[in-house]
Structure 1
Amino acid sequence: MSPQVDIFLLAQNRLLLEALTRILRKKPEFSVVRASAYSPGAVEAIAGSGCQVLLIDSSVTEAFGFQLVQETVEAVAGLKVLMIGMEEDESVFFKAVGAGAAGYVLKDASAMDVVTAIRAVMRDEAVCPPRLCLSLFRYLAGNLTTLPNLRVKSQLGLTRRQQQLVPLLAQGMTNKEIAVHLNLSEQTVKNHVHRMLQKVGADDRLAVVEMVKANQVFL
C-alpha cells in the first residue's frame, strides 16, 4: 500500500474546513494533518506539520495576498500548493503561478475535482483550467526574453526570493535590514541566507555574492 499523502487545509470558513476534512478523510490515501484558519504563524505551522500538500482557499489569499504562498513554498522543500475556490481571473491566476502554486481549482469545482487535483499535483502535474492554461502559454510566449531568473535558478538553484537577497547582501545589509526592506521576518531572512550558503557552496554572505557574479547570472 502506498504511503498516505499528508494534507494541510487553510481556509477562513470553518464550515468549508470541516466539510473538506470529512471528505478527504474518507479517502484512505489521504491524511489531514491540520485544518485551520490563517494566523501570523501559518508558515511555521505548515512547515512543522510535515505536510506534502497545502490546500489554500481563496478567502485566505483575498484577505492576506499571495506572499504566504511564496514564503511557504520557499520554506518547505517539495511542498505542493493547491489553490481552491478560485475565480477564473487571469491576473489572480498569474499571481498564484508566480507565487509557486502547483494547482488552481475554480470555485465551482466539485469535491471530486479537488481530490483529483491533489492526486495530480502529487504526480508532479500542474492543475489549471484550460482557458487559463492557454492564457499562461500566450503570456510566456511573449515574455520569454524577460525571465533571467530562470537561468539563475537553473545554474545556482536560487529561488526568486533568494535572488532578491543577493543585491541586498552585496550592499552589506544585515538580516534585520533585509527583513524590513522585504517585509519579512528576520528569521525567514536568516533561513534564506543559510540555504543560499548551502546551495552555492559559499562560506559567508559576501562569498555568495561573488559566486553569483562569477557565474555571470545576476547583478
Structure 2
Amino acid sequence: MIRVVVADDEAMVRTGIRGILETDPGIEVVAEAANGHEAIDLVARHRPDVAALDIRMPGLDGLGAAEAICRSTKDTAVLMLTTFSEDSYIARALGAGASGFLLKSGDPRELIAGVRAVSEGAAYLSPKVAARVISNFGGDRMLRAERARAAVAGLSDRERQVLALLGAGRSNQEIARELFLVEGTIKSYVSTILNRLGVRNRVRAAIIAHEADLIDD
C-alpha cells in the first residue's frame, strides 16, 4: 500500500485529490494538510511514502515544506502540484529534492501515475509540465537541446532506451519488465547513465531525456 500525505490550502482540492488517489486500491491518503507546517508535521508523524504538495499555500508554502521534508527524511518522496503560472518556482523545488511535478489541471490518471512512480524511486514529469520544467534552467533552449542530444549520443543504444523510460517516469522495476532484464541490471544502467550525463539524480536525467526529445508524448 502506498501511503500519501496531501497538502493544499483549499479543502475542496484536497478532497478531490484524495478521491482521485483512492480510486486506486493500492493507494491510501493517510492525512491532509492545509499548509506547509502541517505537511511537515504530518510527514513526521505518519512517515508516508509520498507527500503531494501544492506549491502555493499560506504561511510556509509547498517549496519550504519540500525542502524540510527532503532534508529530514529519505523515506518520503515529494511530488509537487503546480500550475502554469508558477514556473519560476520549479527550479527551487528541483533543488530541494522534489521527485516529480504535476499540473493540478492535468489528467487525473497522471496523478495516480505520478504518485506510483515517485513512491518507487522514479522521477515523474507530467508530459504537459515537462517543457515548463525545462524552461526554468535558463539559457538558450535550442542550445540546451543540442547539448542534451550530444550527451545522449554518447550513450549506448540500451542506455538510451533506459534513459527514455526513466524520463517517462518508469521505475527500475517497470523498466526491467519492459526491457526483459533483471532489476539489478537496470540499477547499474541508471548509475552509469547518471555518471555519463554528469547529473546527480533521476529528475535531472529525465529533463535531459525530454530536452533530447527521447520521450514519446
Q: TM-score band, normalised by the shorter chain?
A: 0.5 to 0.7
C-alpha contact 1:88 1:132 (8 A) present in aligned 2: no
C-alpha contact 2:5 2:42 (8 A) present in aligned 1: no
Counterpart check, 1:56 vs 2:71: no
CA distance in 2, matches of 1:89, 1:38: 17
Give runs of aligned pairs for residues 111-190 of structure 1, distance below 5 A: 111-128=108-125, 129-135=129-135
C-alpha change, 1:59 and 1:136, in structure 2 (3 Å) is closer
**Bigger relative contact order, structure 1 or 2 (CA pairs below 8 A, ≥6 apart):** 2
For residue 16 of structure 2, what is the aligned residue in structure 1? 19
Q: Which among 54, 72, 84 is matched to residue 81 of structure 2?
A: 84
CA distance in 2, matches of 1:37, 1:9: 9
Q: Which among 90, 95, 106 is matched to residue 98 of structure 1?
A: 95
The Cα of 1:40 is off from its aligned counterpart by 3.8
C-alpha contact 2:91 2:137 (8 A) present in aligned 1: no
CA distance in 2, matches of 1:132, 1:11: 21
Larger Rg: 1
Q: Which among 39, 43, 57 is matched to residue 46 of structure 1?
A: 43
Residues 122-159 of structure 1: CA distance to partner in whole angstroms, max 9, x if unpaired?
232222233134336766x99xxxxxxxxxxxxxxxxx
For residue 30 of structure 1, what is the aligned residue in structure 2? 27
C-alpha change, 1:47 and 1:90, in structure 2 (3 Å) is same
Identity in percent: 20
Counterpart check, 1:70 vs 2:67: yes
Counterpart check, 1:9 vs 2:6: yes
Q: Figure out how many residues of one structure are paired with residues of the other and give that number.
A: 137
CA distance in 2, matches of 1:103, 1:137: 16
The Cα of 1:30 is off from its aligned counterpart by 0.3
Structure 2 residue identity aligned to 1:132:
R
Tell me the SS of whatever aligns to 2:56.
Answer: helix
CA distance in 2, matches of 1:115, 1:20: 10
C-alpha contact 2:52 2:80 (8 A) present in aligned 1: yes
The Cα of 1:7 is off from its aligned counterpart by 0.4
C-alpha change, 1:108 and 1:63, in structure 2 (3 Å) is farther
CA distance in 2, matches of 1:45, 1:89: 25
The Cα of 1:63 is off from its aligned counterpart by 5.2
Q: Judge which range, 26-35 or 79-88, deviates more.
A: 79-88
C-alpha change, 1:38 and 1:14, in structure 2 (3 Å) is same
For residue 208 of structure 1, what is the aligned residue in structure 2? none
C-alpha contact 2:79 2:115 (8 A) present in aligned 1: yes
The Cα of 1:107 is off from its aligned counterpart by 3.0
CA distance in 1, matches of 2:65, 2:89: 14
